[in-house]
Copies of this chain bind each other. A is one copy, B any other.
């Protein structure tokens, strides 16, 4: 029961996208893929550009792009242009912390999952690398 004390306001998360079964399902579906969860957990507390995420997941850029668009459609992440790159981050990281908080909780509770552990390590390396060089390799 390591997280039993963690209490989050899931209400707002539901409110924003609720009153329509379709939208709730869209959110749940977005959370139902391993690679999309990996993306969300990687985005906890930081922004990443598409090529950094692509390097982390080791998938084709087109596949990563599709996943990002599904997460965007579900209002779980937001995008922002920075120079020649597009940065993604958890939705409303500052203002409305619900979705971001849920993901953070998820990440913590998956701390011992081998895949997630690997990702954390890999991500540290990626953040040390030059973004320019990283993108050029795609």
Spell out A's residues near B (CB within 8 Å). Answer: 1-12, 14-15, 18-21, 24-25, 28-29, 31-34, 37, 102, 105-106, 109-113, 115-116
Contacts and interface: CB of A to CB of B under 8 A. Distances in A.
Contacts of A9: 4, 6-8
Given A6-B9, A10-B102, 17 more contacts: A3-B12, A3-B18, A7-B9, A8-B10, A8-B11, A10-B105, A14-B105, A19-B111, A21-B37, A21-B110, A21-B113, A21-B116, A24-B37, A24-B106, A24-B110, A28-B28, A28-B31
| Copies of this polypeptide in the complex | 2
A95 to B, nearest CB: 13
Contact of A12 (B4, B15, B19, B34): B4
